[in-house]
Amino acid sequence: MAAVSPVLDLAEPLANARTIAQHLVRLREAGVQVAVFPELGLTGYTCEDLFFTAPLLEASRQALGELASACHGIVAVVGLPWQLTDGRLLNAAAVLGDGRVLGVVPKSTQPNYGEFYEMRWFVSGADVRQTVDHPTLGRFLVTPRQIFDTGAFRFAVEICEDLWVPEPPGIRACLAGAEFVLNLSASNEAIAKADYRRDLLRMTSARGLCGYLYASSGPMESTKDIVFGGHVIAAENGRMLAEGERYAFDGTEVVVDFDVERLRHERMSNISFASAPRPDDYSAVPTPVAASPIYTLLRPIDAHPFVPEDEHLFDARAQEIFAIQSTGLARRMRAARCDTLVIGLSGGLDSTQAYLVALAALDKLGIDRSHLHAITMPGPGTTEHTRTSAHELGDATGVAVRQISIAAAVEQHLLDLEHSEHDVVFENAQARERTQILFNYANKHGGIVVGTGDLSELALGWCTFNADHMANYNVNASVPKTMMRYLVRWYAVHRADDALAGVLNKVLDTPISPELLPAQEGRITQHTEDIIGPYELHDFFLYHFLRAGAGPAKLHALACLAFDGIYTPAVVKKWLAMFFRRFYTQQFKRTTLPPGPKVGTVSLSPRGDWRMPDEAGLAHIMQAIEELP
């Protein structure tokens, strides 16, 4: 879709129609299916009493007819004064396509305050419903209650002030089925008004779970008392997609793509929206559009959707995440009437983040750090690098780290089982021995066990059932691995002293590994991402699968765009299969998750965001992946 504020010839409808037609030719070639232009764009918004003159009105209808005949393969939404058969004059928008007028939508609310005097010329079209059968323009409705249905998506139209009222008609149209709202506007510029306008549009798109496209009048309007900037904006479900340059004498436009499937997923899953009463007085208008020839996306696809690119925004997010995690843990301590925390320190990323959160929780409650019992439990696969990292972390924060080796206990346990292979039994025996130590140690000292496993591991089931899968409270339960790395780095830069920052950077440089297989020459032999795939890919799949309901084909296409030059389509396909296979088969672990705080928009808590049968089949998913290029 496109929002355009073209160069205006004030009070010259035929000239403006030609200018708009030139835009449409270029936009159609670029693959645009729908384009919206400013309020009263055929005449100009500032014609004042000229709106009462027959020449202007006659020229407007003639210009509309010429422009309609140019609309093939693209739909145009343009503004003009429209006179009803009973003599009333409307500020209206005409939807043009297939060489004809598809419908006329009148403005419902006329501003008549401050610099606006619309009620001098126009009446409200809120209750208008007329059928027009024009010899050249065709047969169509004049009413604000129209949904234009292309077969692939549905949109509605509102005009300027309609957006600013307490009950915008665009929101009502969203409840009636419109997935997009197109706004033709003439909003003048004033100090801070553009910021307010952006916020209003963005939050309206969030409230309507819709795409919102906005085109306002430009600086070629009359500047007798006010100036128009030609603001064009696109927003989608609470997020700004694009905006054009203001005050451009040669016109401005934005071309954007909207994610229809994601909007529909949001509307299904948001039960408040889904259960809201639906108006039943809207007419569906068949609206032919050409299939878009674009084979790639205009919008950039963020390879790391959990992590904001903007440094200042991430700083605020990181502080908020730490606050949520530490407050949740501190509240849990109060509920358990305990002042002691027990955590297993591996020297890896997740346990380091959980450790920092535990310190923050104690500080929040005014409890001395000696009440944090950090335990490192080296086993057959533990390297000197991670073992010393755990101790250095304690030294840098004034916490004594206790070391309890699991080697003898695991060896005896495997002897009892008469098991000697370095397989899943060997690995899980270590994980369960560590968890046994933590819980029994917590019982001994009247504490609670702080969990460390992250969202990405839970999604893939990369944890041992009833071992690292379990805790009294898991502070990392909804923090993905890609976010975890940024959080620890943020802490090193913004909160740590030099000694602690040095340890955190050492942890960040450590390969991700469960360290459950014997080390070789002191080096880690088990690299998680070599086994299950890159976490950045899995986090990408997880985000778009849970937040947008995307299927394999869409996930593959988006990932190939986001990671172009990093992973080939074949590699993306390989790890996409791994993601779905593990996500579906490992649900039984998520069904029995311990409590933990939700920090972002994605969570896998069986009591909160995600409910799924443990036995769900995935043959259809794997077949779809197999058919990918």
Report the catalytic residues: 39, 107, 160
Residue 494 has φ and ψ, to the nearest 5°, of -105, -20
Nearest to 486 by CA among 500, 502, 504, 511: 504
The DSSP bridge pattern shows strands 448-451 and 341-344 to be parallel
Q: Would you say 579 and 517 are in contact if contact means Cβ atoms under 8 Å apart?
A: no
Contact 346, 431 (CB under 8 A): no
Residue 8 and residue 63: Cα distance in Å, rounded? Answer: 14
Rg (CA), the chain: 31
| Phi, psi angle pair for 524, to nearest 5° | -65, 130
Beta carbons of 289 and 153 less than 8 angstroms apart: no
Strands 130-134 and 100-106: unpaired
Contact 176, 210 (CB under 8 A): no
* Residue the block writes with tokens 């027990």: 342
Where in 160-251 does DSSP place strands (E)?
Answer: 180-185, 211-216, 232-236, 239-243
Distance CA 392, CA 398 (A): 10
Rounded CA gap, 282 and 157, in Å?
12
3-class state of residue 20 by DSSP = helix
- Residue from 547, 509, 596 nearest 329 by CA: 596
- Please answer whether residues 290 and 99 qualify as being in contact, where contact means their C-beta atoms are separated by less than 8 angstroms: no
Q: Cα(561)–Cα(571) distance, rounded to whole angstroms? A: 13
Find the distance separating the first CA and the last CA of the chain, reported in whole Å: 28
- Tally of CA atoms within 13 A in the half-sphere of 66 that contains its CB: 17
Alpha-carbon distances, residue 116 vs 186, 257, 317, 472 (angstroms): 10, 33, 41, 62
**For residues 576 and 447, what is the distance between their CA atoms, to the nearest angstrom?**
40
Angle between helices 569-585 and 619-626 (to 10 degrees): 180
Structure tokens at 392: 């250095």
How far is 285 from 103, CA to CA, in rounded Å? 8
The secondary structure of residue 44, as a DSSP letter, is -
User: Please, are residues 166 and 160 in contact by the beta-carbon 8 Å criterion?
Assistant: no
C-alpha span between 84 and 100 (Å, rounded): 19
| Residue whose entry in the numeric block shows the structure tokens 């009833």 | 466
**Count of alpha carbons within 13 angstroms of residue 371, beta-carbon side:** 19
Give per-residue burial for 388-407: e unless 16+ CB within 10 Å, then b: ebbbbbbebbebebeeeebe
For the stretch 42-68, what's the b/e string if a residue is b when 16 or more beta carbons lie within 10 angstroms of its beta carbon? Answer: bbbbbbeebbeeeebbebbbebbbbbb
Pairing, β 252-255 against β 75-83 = unpaired
- DSSP string for residues in 335-381: HHT---EEEE--SSHHHHHHHHHHHHHHHHHT--GGGEEEEE---TT
